[in-house]
Structure 1
């Protein structure tokens, strides 16, 4: 009989509810007692016993990792911003920089087993797996039965575990369709025991089958529980489960699943981000801009109909905005780490595509940062996609950076569908799907853009069209370019860029991280990549 101590069950209320639940003192409550309480079927009891853990599943996205004390590595937004810098499409600043991010931009070592730029990705994912398994321990089939609340709770744990394992595969193995299929995956843990024996790595195929099974079961449980597409963006619902499943299926070449999952999402999220909310709107002048985050759909979920999963003001981590916002008093602005678009990609955006307005066509002279009245000239090509001069709900420029956050949105689902169609030979379907995005990105009053009249797409194959539009639409979001380059077998080559500070190239073969040294030392069954 195993004793489960209070700190293992984060957020539960055994102390205050001890008499109500009529169980042993909290530090002596056992697994068996907890499961008996869950089997009772009483909703109030179930929510008291397990509600805190279940509610913590989505919030695990707000955790980063350990192994590095710098803020860019203490949450997933920071981890993904670092991935953004390791590609073709983002230019980091307008001069060589020694601030954080400079090493990643110059492709200094971020993959070896001993570097502290590697291990936080490992810690982030394994924290998610452990958090999920702690709750899933209590939710075996016999305990869950036909109870809809327990099915919903179990679905949350399965979603978090699946996302975390997929995060590991994206970072720590070659892309499945680029040689990774025949390589090793991850050790598969489906229970939590503090002293359990370490496991060896499963195959990549076994790992992806495990991930897909978790997501498919989660989707069925959510349906059984009547938990479909919810209005709350910070919970795990069918939209989140289908989005992650589509992303996994895209990596493994399961085109039919990509299409069915994204169709489900697009039916429930039919509206795309409007021109009025696509990046910053300047209500002042270039010399003294006023850019309210309330109007920016990338900073305010309330005006973004695409948000499938994210967090509200207060819960949202602001690391991404700190790095991407040129008016932030941090790396992204005051310290000159301006996040700029490669001129090659900028020039491929059609003149009548309003996404071009999300980047500065010319330099902006002498912006005054509020705390110390420091002035900086913000260079051409700097993004306005994530720009704001204020924080949400604040008139004080010193509060810049207060914003909501999103992880998954509709446009990416649409682009995943278009890619699956192109990859499976449905050229007409891929073009029709892309045309929906292009129509939604056409400037008001201009002729509707299509794959046939978009200048930068002349002569491209359907897959190349998808790749270009993915790079434009998802610029600066979630490290997507890095992972897509890895998946598409596209090396980094900045030599032809007119505005990249660093002209390096970087091969796909070096986009896979080594297993961190700590894991190699303490798991005698682990095999290095």
Structure 2
């Protein structure tokens, strides 16, 4: 990684606080002085020196940058494009020549020179570098037992673990589908403006590095007295355990997955109710109104599942722009409606209220506010992320004014269920799924279970988990794409009644090549 493009994200300069710290000469703090200040144990000085960098760590996940193409100018744009590269999301009602069209039609997004490849690489390495810039200053000899430094170091380790895992999800085959024996990533635990390139380590070494980071972060948070905090925007034990569970599931460490999930579920026992689970099917309404304040996917304040998320004003909202059929972006006015594949929809039990988050029939015409253009909202369009207004606004042009989330406890429950099923504990896996199914049963109906759910008859426990994961996490964070890699499920749309593109796509083609820029500037880089 000899050369990497770094986005400007408002990293706080360490040299701007010399007057406050009474350091001479002013505005010229040396690294030795920084180390001395950190070693002093003075919490106020530590906050002044590193607080800005430490507070920025969670914001790196909630990433938005200036760019001409929104699809590759933010993390949510990346995820929205991944959503289109699978089976379960249909893109519009006809072939669309617009952003998302190439991805949905499964044109090249993996080659080393593809403009649909490098942004993922840059996003991941930008997080690694940002974490390492701070971690440079807080080695174990500096941290010792200082609680503030323990907390700050944990934040850097969490971000680095998240970033490396993200890169592995994209740039290598799934660990249990042949990736274990292949190359991982170059492992950097320090940052320097000019530093010697490293060869790629093995996948086993890379995941060991990731797990060591996240386990050390958990230890530091516990010693610092930082548990499961009420602040949804920070890195706490919930975020750390979520990453540990995800990495452990990817690498087949079922015991650790279950243990990490149990830690989270003990603190997040409540799931979203029917009242706040997305928009509701109101076909035939002449003037539809979907308020984001009442939607747990758009308002994290009413969603008890949110482990990491950001409020209005801080939230990146590109996902809403793509997934909301009432938005004046490509996902609505542009007719790039995000629709559910009828093959998945047809298996949703009629007593499962998630069926009401998708249109069974055409909604009818909706008038978009800016120019009065009307569009037919088509059948199978999702209402999960529907909003006709912005949060706290009567202006329909402000539909993008919402909050966002990146981790929630339903996914944790599903990770636990999968680990149990993979570990041949089918009964326990079904018990975990039954918790979710009970919470998703329409009020007044007999509680759904794995044994009574109509669309899961004849399935074994693992297939039940896969089905419920596809349904519960539909349209969220590109999860289907990454799960298809893990489960060795190719894209095959041939039998779908409503897919516009009927392509197939092999799992072997879901792994991105190392970008050309890296291959040119890192003389030790090996291509996938």
Report Cα offsets for 1:307-358 as digits up to 9, x if no partner.
0001010000110000000000000000000000000000010000000000
Quick check: 2:95–2:101 contact (8 Å CA) kept in 1?
A: yes
Find the counterpart in structure 1 of residue 31 from structure 2. 31
Report Cα offsets for 1:102-134 as digits up to 9, x if no partner.
000000000000010000000000000000000
Q: Is 1:58 the counterpart of 2:88 in the alignment?
A: no
Quick check: 1:128–1:160 contact (8 Å CA) kept in 2?
A: yes
Find the counterpart in structure 2 of residue 521 from structure 1. 520
**1:353-502 paired onto structure 2 within 5 Å:** 353-502=352-501
Distance in 1 (alpha carbons) for counterparts of 2:271 and 2:507: 32
Quick check: 2:19–2:26 contact (8 Å CA) kept in 1?
A: no
Distance in 1 (alpha carbons) for counterparts of 2:281 and 2:183: 50
Distance in 2 (alpha carbons) for counterparts of 1:8 and 1:428: 47
Query: Secondary structure in 1 aligned to 2:520?
Result: helix
Find the counterpart in structure 2 of residue 3 from structure 1. none
Query: Secondary structure in 1 aligned to 2:364?
Result: strand
Find the counterpart in structure 1 of residue 264 from structure 2. 265
Distance in 1 (alpha carbons) for counterparts of 2:442 and 2:376: 28
Quick check: 1:229–1:239 contact (8 Å CA) kept in 2?
A: yes
Distance in 1 (alpha carbons) for counterparts of 2:25 and 2:354: 59
- The normalised TM-score by structure 1 is 0.96
Find the counterpart in structure 2 of residue 160 from structure 1. 159
The structural deviation recorded for 1:393 is 0.6
Q: Pick which of 274-283 and 82-91 moved more.
A: 274-283
Task: Call closer, same or farther: CA 1:502–1:160 in 2, change over 3 Å.
Answer: same
Find the counterpart in structure 2 of residue 72 from structure 1. 71
Find the counterpart in structure 2 of residue 250 from structure 1. 249
Distance in 1 (alpha carbons) for counterparts of 2:483 and 2:27: 48
Query: Secondary structure in 2 aligned to 1:170?
Result: helix
Alignment length (residue pairs): 521
Distance in 2 (alpha carbons) for counterparts of 1:469 and 1:39: 50
The structural deviation recorded for 1:494 is 0.4
Q: Is 1:175 the counterpart of 2:174 in the alignment?
A: yes
Task: Call closer, same or farther: CA 1:362–1:44 in 2, change over 3 Å.
Answer: same
Task: Call closer, same or farther: CA 1:105–1:282 in 2, change over 3 Å.
Answer: closer
Distance in 2 (alpha carbons) for counterparts of 1:306 and 1:138: 35
**Which structure 2 segments of 5+ residues have no match?**
1-7
Distance in 2 (alpha carbons) for counterparts of 1:96 and 1:231: 45
The structural deviation recorded for 1:75 is 1.0
Find the counterpart in structure 2 of residue 325 from structure 1. 324
Find the counterpart in structure 2 of residue 291 from structure 1. 290
The structural deviation recorded for 1:397 is 0.5
The structural deviation recorded for 1:283 is 8.4
Find the counterpart in structure 2 of residue 20 from structure 1. 20
Quick check: 2:128–2:159 contact (8 Å CA) kept in 1?
A: yes
The structural deviation recorded for 1:187 is 0.2
The structural deviation recorded for 1:155 is 0.2
Task: Call closer, same or farther: CA 1:26–1:50 in 2, change over 3 Å.
Answer: farther
- The normalised TM-score by structure 2 is 0.97
Q: Is 1:120 the counterpart of 2:119 in the alignment?
A: yes
Distance in 2 (alpha carbons) for counterparts of 1:9 and 1:455: 51
Distance in 2 (alpha carbons) for counterparts of 1:40 and 1:457: 61
Distance in 2 (alpha carbons) for counterparts of 1:393 and 1:8: 28
Quick check: 1:281–1:292 contact (8 Å CA) kept in 2?
A: no
The structural deviation recorded for 1:183 is 0.1
Distance in 2 (alpha carbons) for counterparts of 1:78 and 1:134: 26
Report Cα offsets for 1:245-291 as digits up to 9, x if no partner.
10000110000110000000000000001100111147896221011
Distance in 1 (alpha carbons) for counterparts of 2:417 and 2:496: 28
Distance in 2 (alpha carbons) for counterparts of 1:197 and 1:310: 36
Quick check: 2:217–2:240 contact (8 Å CA) kept in 1?
A: yes
Query: Secondary structure in 2 aligned to 1:377?
Result: strand
Distance in 2 (alpha carbons) for counterparts of 1:475 and 1:82: 14
The structural deviation recorded for 1:9 is 9.2
Distance in 2 (alpha carbons) for counterparts of 1:154 and 1:408: 21
Distance in 2 (alpha carbons) for counterparts of 1:233 and 1:64: 18
Distance in 1 (alpha carbons) for counterparts of 2:356 and 2:145: 52
Distance in 2 (alpha carbons) for counterparts of 1:280 and 1:248: 32
Quick check: 1:329–1:335 contact (8 Å CA) kept in 2?
A: yes
**Which structure 1 segments of 5+ residues have no match?**
1-6
Report Cα offsets for 1:149-178 as digits up to 9, x if no partner.
000000000000000000000000000000
Find the counterpart in structure 1 of residue 190 from structure 2. 191
Find the counterpart in structure 2 of residue 4 from structure 1. none
Query: Secondary structure in 1 aligned to 2:475?
Result: coil
Pairwise CA RMSD of aligned residues?
A: 1.5
Quick check: 1:12–1:51 contact (8 Å CA) kept in 2?
A: no
